[in-house]
Every structure is written in C-alpha cells, then in structure tokens.
C-alpha cells in the first residue's frame, strides 16, 4: 500500500496546448495520488479545463506526456482515458436528457450485452449508490432530475466504469450549499476508498475545505503547488489573479425612491411550452438592486424576458412606474427605459458578425440623434460607440471590426455600455459577470452599483450566490419559477437558509412581509 501511495496514479509532464493564437497550456506538470484531492485553481481561461480535457483524451497535447501508474499513455479519445481509469465529470453534463438514468450509465460501455441487461445494471447502480452516498432513481429520465441529481449520475457513470481518478470540473457551481456538503461527503468517501480526485474550482472557500493539495494556474502556466492546509484565502486569490484583491464591495447607503417595476402574479411559459414562471410577484424601487438567487434553469431567463417584454405573460400584470405594460412589445419596454443585459451575450446580446457601431445601433436605431427619419446617422452612432469604448474600457482595434473577434470581457463591456448609455430607468441584468476574469467582473459590478446610485432600479439575476449577496439591497430566491422567499437584508442571510430556499423549501414569514408592503 505504501509504495502505491508513493507513485502517482496519474502524472502529467510538460503539457503544452494551443488553440489558434491562444496558448491555453504551457509546460504544465500535474499529478494525483491515490486517496487525495488535488485541486486545480484558476480563473476562467487559466487553462484548467483544457488541461483536464487533455487528460480525458478529448484534446491532444502539442507537447508533453501523460503517465498512468508510471506507464506512458497517449489518449486519442475519452474511451481510452476511461479504460486507463480516468473519468471526467464535465461542467456541462454529458448526459442525454430523454434517456433514463440507467441507460445513460451504460451508453457506450465497452463489452455491454447486445440486449440491454436492465436488471443487472440497476442492481449495480444500487450497490454503487449505497457505497458512495449517491442516490438517484435509476428508472427516472434524466431531464426530470435536479441538477444535483444529474451530477450524481455523472459521478456514478465514472464509478460504474471503474474510474480510479475522478476529475470534477467546477462541480459546485450548479449546487445549493447543502448539495455541496453532500458532494464533499461523496468525495471524501471516494478518497477513503483509494480513488484520486481532481477538483477544479475558482471558489476559494470550497477549495480550502476539500483539498489535500492545490495547484494554481494562471494564463496557462502553473504558479505554484502547495498543501491545502497551508493556504489562506488572500494568498490563493493573489496567486490566482496575479495581484491583490479586495473582497469587500464598496456600497453606498441609499434610501430607495419610488417604485419603478411591479410584477403582479405573472405566469409565463418556457421555450418548450411548459410553465416556467408561476404566479410570481416582485417590485423594485429607484436606487435599489433586487437580487434573484437560484440554481440555473429555475425560470431566471424566462423571468428576465417576461419583464423586458420579450416573452408573453399569460397571467398577471407588469407595471412600469404604475403604467400597465402587460402584453406590450419589446420596443415599448425599450422606449420606457428598460435595459436588458442577457446572459448569452453572443446570442441575445450581440451579433457576432456585426461590428461595434452596428451592435450599438441595434438597440438605438429608433431614437434621436441616431435616427434621422428613415435613415441612420452613422456619425452620431460612431461618436457614441467611441465614447462607450473609452468609458467602459473596451479594448478593440477599431469600431469597424466584428464583435466576435473581441474577448468575452470586452464583449460584455461593450454590451454594458450600450445598455447603460441611455440612462435607463430599469436594468435587468442576467449573469452579467459570467465567464469574466476578475478585472472585468469588478468593473461590471462597479457599473451596476453606479447605476443604483444614479437612481436606476436594477434586477440582478445570478447563480453566483456570493455576487448577489454582496450587491443586492434585497434578495429573492427563485425555484421552479416561484419566489421561495424574500430576504430584506442579504448581508445577514445565512447560507443554510438560502440553500434550503434554493432547493425549494419556502420561507413563509418573509412572503407575508412582502405582501404587506
């Protein structure tokens, strides 16, 4: 046993990988021993996922080697990686929603019987579930499961294939705090049984709790590998970002003004025609940020679209400054001073093939001075786009280049600048910092706070609990399209309580309070 512990299960040496012009990994060394949790820490774009996709056989490295238990390996596909005992749980689950849990588990399994051996499979799932505390209903279809349950299916899939090393890519980003604790129990059970776990994250508290060793990546290179018990929050953050980070958000004390937006018992459907928003009520006042916390896919997108006129409302009313806007067109909302920062900036937000000026014009073509009768005034459009580029620090080689050539952070700065340029009354922002590096994140948050100080009403939807807690004046938790509870003072809210609401357990007294107000 002791000698086994001295030899790593997996060893990666000098891994280098480039995509087009981006060097995603440069000479990275990384190893995992049996019975340990080795964390990969780094910002978005630091190269964590690329490194793990190489280990998993999805990408081939340009240089470097992989050794499994001392033997040199080359994986040209995930199948070879899993055959060597390396299993990956991707951030975006690799599950087929219309198949059942057990069907997903055995899909593509080498050596599977021609006629699916359903009963044997379900029995083996039962055994694994008991051993690692991963219970799921084997005959449920995956689309019916919660995100946390789907993650358990992914982990089971790897254990079913006898994976010795499990790579968990950002596993906690989709979980409630309670589910995170449960996942950690499973991880500890796996290491106790001799598995090696690679844990990928950028959440410092979790990393410090679960890691035996931590390797920090920055712009594709290893900054340092250190034992988990030696780490402090500040130290990790500094090494991850490359400079000192201030964690506190500077927020002025404000007295909210008149009510800007009121939603009264609204109901809306999702794209598949199923109820996504159920009898939801909320209100936002001037100079106030209302945060919406919740796990992805609980109606956040539909709510944002319903409140900006992009999605029809089937019941209930939406009022802007007391005026009934129910059933009005998106353009009416736009003209009433509603801005929308959608989560998919490349889809709903910007048109990749159009240049900066054109993307600015998309949301401003109807108003003066950008419109002159039926024509566009490209001079004033270019002038304002130039001012946005300057004020919001968009780094772009010119106003005439397609926005798809900009980095995610710069796209977000441009979209933010466009949406805030008309001094909107109401700003609906969905996941505005998703996928951004620390600098851009700070900038976006700061801009939202400034809008609040200016007197705008802000609806901030985010799956990042830390973010909504830090920025919001009030916080609502959404679950399956309903508000589970309203927290009047987010800073005093307990994570425990929020987690319960995110999992769908209603907080009654606050609802009463909201009604009374």
Partner 1 sequence: MEILVPILSAAIRSGTPILYATLGEILTEKAGVLNLGLEGLMLLGAFSGFTVTMVTGNPWVGLAAAFCVGMAVSALHAFLCVTMGANQVVSGLAITMFGTGMSALLGKAYVGETIRGLGILPVPLLAKIPLLGPVLFNHDPLVYLSYVLVGLACWFISSTRWGLTLRAVGENPRAVDAAGLSVVRLRYAYTMVGGGLAALGGAYLSVVYTQMWVEMMTAGRGWIAVALVIFGIWNPLRAALGSYLFGGVGALQLRIQAAGTTIPAPLLLMLPYILTIVVLVGISVRKGKGILLGAPAALGQPFHREERD
Residue 159 CB, shortest distance to partner 1, in Å, is 15
* CA–CA distance, 443 with 449 (Å, rounded to integer): 10
* Touching partner 1, residues 318-347 (CB under 8 A): none
Q: Which residues contact 513 (CB under 8 A, 6 or more apart)?
A: 486, 488
Which position among 3, 70, 114, 253 is part of the footprint of partner 1 (CB under 8 A)?
114
Size of the site for partner 1 (CB under 8 A): 35
Distance of CA 364 to the CA centre of its chain: 29
Which position among 5, 29, 97, 193 is part of the footprint of partner 1 (CB under 8 A)?
97
Pairing of strands 37-41, 371-372: unpaired
Contact between 265 and partner 1 by CB under 8 A: the answer reads: no
* 3-class secondary structure per residue, 261-313: EEEEEEEEECCCCCEEEEEEEEEEECCEEEEEECCCCCCHHHHHHHHCCCCCC
Rank residues 59 and 443 by Cβ distance to partner 1 and give the closer one: 59
List the one residue out of 495, 56, 41 whose CA is nearest residue 66: 56
Residue 103 CB, shortest distance to partner 1, in Å, is 6
Which position among 38, 48, 90, 445 is part of the footprint of partner 1 (CB under 8 A)?
90
* CA–CA distance, 430 with 310 (Å, rounded to integer): 14
Element housing 479 (H / E): strand 474-479
Which position among 28, 66, 106, 304 is part of the footprint of partner 1 (CB under 8 A)?
106
Which position among 34, 88, 214, 449 is part of the footprint of partner 1 (CB under 8 A)?
88
Rank residues 275 and 383 by Cβ distance to partner 1 and give the closer one: 275
Residue 200 CB, shortest distance to partner 1, in Å, is 16
Site string for partner 1, 134-163 (x = CB under 8 A): ------------------------------
* CA–CA distance, 54 with 125 (Å, rounded to integer): 28
* Touching partner 1, residues 5-34 (CB under 8 A): 19
Residue 364 CB, shortest distance to partner 1, in Å, is 29
Rank residues 18 and 326 by Cβ distance to partner 1 and give the closer one: 18
Rank residues 104 and 410 by Cβ distance to partner 1 and give the closer one: 104
Contact between 107 and partner 1 by CB under 8 A: the answer reads: yes
* CA–CA distance, 153 with 135 (Å, rounded to integer): 9
* CA–CA distance, 227 with 418 (Å, rounded to integer): 45
Contact between 96 and partner 1 by CB under 8 A: the answer reads: yes
**Is residue 130 exposed (0-12), middle (13-18) or buried (19+ Cβ within 10 Å)?**
exposed
Contact between 115 and partner 1 by CB under 8 A: the answer reads: yes
* Touching partner 1, residues 57-86 (CB under 8 A): 57-59, 77-80, 82
* CA–CA distance, 360 with 385 (Å, rounded to integer): 6
Angle 495-502/177-192 helices, nearest 10 degrees?
A: 90
Residue 24 CB, shortest distance to partner 1, in Å, is 9
Rank residues 96 and 331 by Cβ distance to partner 1 and give the closer one: 96
Contact between 274 and partner 1 by CB under 8 A: the answer reads: yes
Residue 359 CB, shortest distance to partner 1, in Å, is 21
Contact between 405 and partner 1 by CB under 8 A: the answer reads: no
Question: DSSP label at 97?
Answer: T
Beta partners for residue 315, in sequence order: 267
Angle 177-192/147-160 helices, nearest 10 degrees?
A: 10
Judged by the rule CB under 8 A, the positions of this chain that interact with partner 1 are 19, 56-59, 77-80, 82, 88, 90, 92, 94-99, 103-104, 106-110, 112-116, 269, 272-274
């Amino acid at each position: 046993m002791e000698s086994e512990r001295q030899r790593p299960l997996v060893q990666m040496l000098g891994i280098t990988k480039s995509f087009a012009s981006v060097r995603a990994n440069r000479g990275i060394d990384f190893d995992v021993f049996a019975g340990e949790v080795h964390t990969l820490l780094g910002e978005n774009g630091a190269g964590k996922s690329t490194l793990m996709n190489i280990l998993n056989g999805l990408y081939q490295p340009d240089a470097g080697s992989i050794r499994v238990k001392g033997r040199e390996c080359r994986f040209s596909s995930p199948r070879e990686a899993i055959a060597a005992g390396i299993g990956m749980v991707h951030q975006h689950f690799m599950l087929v929603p219309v198949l059942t849990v057990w069907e997903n588990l055995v899909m593509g399994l080498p050596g599977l019987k021609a006629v699916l051996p359903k009963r044997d499979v379900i029995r083996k799932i039962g055994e694994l579930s008991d051993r690692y505390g991963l219970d799921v209903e084997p005959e449920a279809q995956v689309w019916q499961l919660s995100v946390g349950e789907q993650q358990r299916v992914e982990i089971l899939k790897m254990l079913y294939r006898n994976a010795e090393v499990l790579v968990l890519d950002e596993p906690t980003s989709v979980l409630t705090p309670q589910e995170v604790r449960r996942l950690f129990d499973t991880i500890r059970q796996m290491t106790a049984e001799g598995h090696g776990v690679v844990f990928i994250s950028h959440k410092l508290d979790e990393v410090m709790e679960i890691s035996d060793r931590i390797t920090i990546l920055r712009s594709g290179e290893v900054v340092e590998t250190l034992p988990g018990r030696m780490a402090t929050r500040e130290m990790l953050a500094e090494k991850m970002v490359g400079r000192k980070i201030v964690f506190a958000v500077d927020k002025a004390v404000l007295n909210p003004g008149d009510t800007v937006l009121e939603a009264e018992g609204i109901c809306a459907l999702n794209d598949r025609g199923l109820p996504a928003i159920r009898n939801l009520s909320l209100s936002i006042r001037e100079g106030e940020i209302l945060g919406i916390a919740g796990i992805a896919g609980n109606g956040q997108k539909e709510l944002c679209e319903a409140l900006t006129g992009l999605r029809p409302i089937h019941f209930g009313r939406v009022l802007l400054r007391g005026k009934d806007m129910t059933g009005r067109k998106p353009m009416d909302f736009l003209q009433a001073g509603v801005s929308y920062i959608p989560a998919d900036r490349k889809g709903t937000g910007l048109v990749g093939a159009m240049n900066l000026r054109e993307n600015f014009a998309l949301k401003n073509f109807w108003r003066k001075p950008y419109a002159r009768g039926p024509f566009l005034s490209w001079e004033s459009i270019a002038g304002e786009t130039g001012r946005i580029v300057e004020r919001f620090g968009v780094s772009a080689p010119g106003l005439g280049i397609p926005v798809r050539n900009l980095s995610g952070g710069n796209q977000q700065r441009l979209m933010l600048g466009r949406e805030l340029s008309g001094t909107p009354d109401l700003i609906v922002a969905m996941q505005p910092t998703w996928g951004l590096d620390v600098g851009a994140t700070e900038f976006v948050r700061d801009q939202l706070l400034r809008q609040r100080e200016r007197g705008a009403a802000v609806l901030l939807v985010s799956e990042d609990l830390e973010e909504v807690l830090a920025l919001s004046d009030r916080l609502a938790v959404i679950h399956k399209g309903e508000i589970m509870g309203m927290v009047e003072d987010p800073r005093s809210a307990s994570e425990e309580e929020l987690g319960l609401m995110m999992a769908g357990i209603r907080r009654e007294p606050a609802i009463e309070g909201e009604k009374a107000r």
